[in-house]
A and B are shown apart, each in its own frame.
Chain A
Amino acid sequence: MKSLQRGITLLLASVSGAAVAAMPDGAQRNFVACPIVRDTASVPCWLAEYEGELYFLTLQTDVSAPVNPPMLGHKVLVEGRRTDKPRICGGIVLEPVRLSVLPTLDANCNQLLPAEAQYNLTFEPPRPPGPSKGRLAFNTLDVQQAEVAPQRVEKHFSIGYDFEGRVGFKHPALLQPVLDYALAIKATSIDIEGHRGAALLSDGTILNESPQLAQRRAQQVAELLQGAGLIGPRYTVRWIDAATAPNGSDDSPQRRVDITVKP
């Protein structure tokens, strides 16, 4: 907060209402577990066990992947929907799936399984474990080009986070369009509103993100935009400290910072 420039207005909003614990719908699988790596003849699979079932989380690809693998040494929060697609690496496919590496180190999460013939991939992975053919595996991280001479209108952006997450390697692709647009329209005002979320697990447990995380997220985004050279506009930074009640199916979008760029 100290690094924010003068003129920034801090507003603390609050919302009332307690989280109502309800069970996620039948296809939803939300759980915390140690991730498991299974080697294959090409790229490794990432898996996790929950209530006696093995779930496929994702493959190793590259930084552009919409879903990035978790980390051994940490538990992972899995928020996904069970599908009937053919199993991959022995695991039930969750899709869509959101993975959040939990910050606390856990030495028990250390399972790296060797390749076995029956778990070879039946398809070509988006990229091999070594050199690619010359491009990123996915295009989702391509930074959007700012419009040429965009209309000077108010525009809204939303920056999403992993559970308990702050800004990381995914965020340049999300922050760059904000910066580009604000510079292009010579924005006079930037409103930033931070949120924290909660996750309803399949067993009914509710995980809440840390208190003050909404504030930290909002302040950090302001600092990052200013640090990237967006020092002209007036910043209004606020946060909603209470987490929205989770429902188990669309909890992850609550973990966000909303940004409004005004001409």
Chain B
Amino acid sequence: MKLLVTLVWGLLCTVAVQVMAAEDDVLAPPHALYPAPKVTLRWINPGETGGLAAEGSYDNNQGQLGVLNAGGAVTATGHPFFAPLGSNGRACISCHQPQDAMSLSLDSIRRQWQVTQGQDPIFAAVDGANCPHLPQQDPASHSLLLDRGLFRVFLPWPPRDAAGKAIEPEFSIEVVRDPTGCNLHPQHGLHSAQPMVSVYRRPRPAANLKYPTHQNFGVSSFIGKNGLPTARDPDTGKPTSMNLMADARAPSLRAQAADAAATHLQRLAPLTKAQLDAIVAFEGQIYVAQQIDRQAGSLIEPNGPTAFGPRALLKGEAGVLGNNTSRWVFPMEGKWTTLSRGNGAAQDARNAARESIARGHDVFMFRTFWIRDSMHLNSVGLGNPTKRTCATCHGMHMTGMDTANGWMDIGSTNLPWAREAPLNPWTTQKPEMPLFKLTCRNDIAPHPFLGRVIYTQDPGRALISGRCNDIGTIVMQQLRALSARAPYFSNGSAHSLRDVVDFYDRRYNIGYSELEKQDLANFLGAL
């Protein structure tokens, strides 16, 4: 059955690609009321000439993404962000495509598999496959990338500190389940000559980066949530916000680029200073956000809410706590709460959609629920449980990130909350994700919510810090341009924004009404 679905899907996808090619990549406007500019879906290959215009628009299922290249048009030729700098043909652009909000959507991944018959560099064995030893021409060897948009991230065990010295971890790690074969592989696995733990994660958007790299509220010499020393930027010596990547292992964009070049691009020599400068400068000038909603029309009309569109992110102040009624996380200014009717069906439908977005905002900001057993939230003085709202954690003005060091365990990778394949005699569904058993040492305090033995699909920050309390904690990411880059959560376990809302509803026993769920998903989709 799965094979049949795959074949049908593949056929449809091929047809769709051919149609797009035949139409010069032009798609129809997403709606009638606010016709979109002429838009294109365009994959940028490493080494292509051309580049990125000062402004771009890209259709997606929810409407249209806006990409603002605030520094002006960039020529790709010779630019290190666009050039294949490593040995596997990849460039930064490979996994940070403008059409996907400088990340990579599952739709695009699947399309590239079809278009290139799996030859696109994103499918490189090193991390575009479930494990390098697998037969690379077989789509099953890339199932986590093709099914969930996940790349392999391989990290040394035990963890290393910034100087490369081994950290004595507070826990031991065992491989309970290894569906990819990588964690027990004699060359790539935990018991290999160079022990590695392979986890599988989504690429994050290389855009709006002044926010995750801010030097504002919550950044100091000590991590606000646990008192440990904050990672410092090796170039400036300043403490960082530690909000880059799923595990905050890179303290700066330069460090991230250097790490990505060595691992994802398989570059053997370090990037030059000029290359790093150019990459970081380019990343710093890109802003992405949804700008048209399929139902609600333009999100960036004059006199509309100031939360929306990429220009709002350019203008916004970074690192400001917005979980309040003075700065707001996503400023709506009370607009769209009650709109007129009777101006025709199309206008009425648009206004109804805008009201739904406004209600979704209020759910995000004001709908309380009991947040419980979430490490680095319930452990930082709010109590367990704490009666708060989405904006409590997603509090950074304009992005909904955490202003402070943002790794947290909401259960997206830790059992019992992580999405697992149901095992029973009536299904052939098999687990896709690895499962690890981590046992915290007896000479340290147990994890306050999960005890000493923790099962997880991805230990998250703990693979960097070695700390029991960090097991399964993931740096929360920005809530912008979500419609352009499904699936969601670091392990791709939510295929839609509705899946995201449903996860929270289950996890925290919120009891959202159907309307609240729809409104919240619509609001998130408009960001």
Contact = CB atoms under 8 A, between A and B. Distances in A.
Given A131-B365, A228-B221, 16 more contacts: A70-B384, A72-B372, A74-B448, A104-B446, A105-B446, A105-B451, A131-B323, A166-B445, A167-B228, A168-B379, A169-B224, A171-B227, A172-B221, A176-B221, A228-B229, A228-B230
Task: Pick from A130, A224, A228 the residue with the most CB of B within 10 Å.
Answer: A130
Interface string A50-79: 000000000010110100111111100000
Nearest to A42: B387
Contact of B391 (A69, A130, A167, A175): A130
B368 interface: yes
A143 B388 CA distance: 25
B226 A168 contact: yes
Question: Looking at chain A's contact residues, is the secondary structure mostly helix, strand, loop, or mixed?
Answer: loop
| Secondary structure dominating the interface of B | loop
Interface in A108-143: 112, 129-135, 143
Contacts of A176: 220-222
A164 B444 CA distance: 11
Interface in B53-110: none
Interface residues of A, number: 44
Query: Which of B226, B325, B381 lies at the interface centre, i.e. has the most chain A CB atoms within 10 A of its CB?
Result: B381
Given A130-B366, A227-B228, A72 B384 contact: yes
Interface in B367-389: 368, 370, 372-373, 378-389
B382 A131 contact: no
A63 B220 contact: no
Nearest to B452: A105
Nearest to A43: B387
A81 interface: no
Given A37-B385, A60-B382, A227-B228, A132 B446 contact: no
A71 B224 CA distance: 19
14 contacts: A37-B383, A43-B387, A44-B383, A63-B380, A71-B378, A73-B449, A101-B448, A131-B389, A131-B391, A134-B326, A164-B445, A176-B222, A227-B229, A228-B230
B323 A73 contact: no
Given A68-B382, A132-B324, A172 B223 contact: yes
User: Closest 6 CB pairs between A and B?
Assistant: A69-B383, A227-B229, A134-B326, A71-B384, A172-B222, A68-B381
A172 B230 CA distance: 10
B341 interface: no
Q: Bin the interface of chain B by size.
A: 35 or more
B210 interface: no
Interface of B: 220-230, 232, 237, 323-328, 365-366, 368, 370, 372-373, 378-389, 391-392, 445-446, 448-449, 451
Contacts of B323: 131-132
A173 B383 CA distance: 19
A235 interface: no
A8 interface: no
Interface of A: 37, 39, 43-44, 46, 60, 62-63, 65, 68-74, 101, 103-105, 112, 129-135, 143, 164, 166-172, 175-176, 179, 224, 227-229
A38 to B, nearest CB: 11
Contacts of B373: 73
Nearest to A174: B227
A129 B387 contact: yes
Contacts of A39: 387
A170 B402 CA distance: 18
A69 B379 contact: no
B155 to A, nearest CB: 21
A112 B508 CA distance: 14
Nearest to B389: A130
A129 B365 CA distance: 10
A129 B448 contact: no
Contacts of B326: 133-134
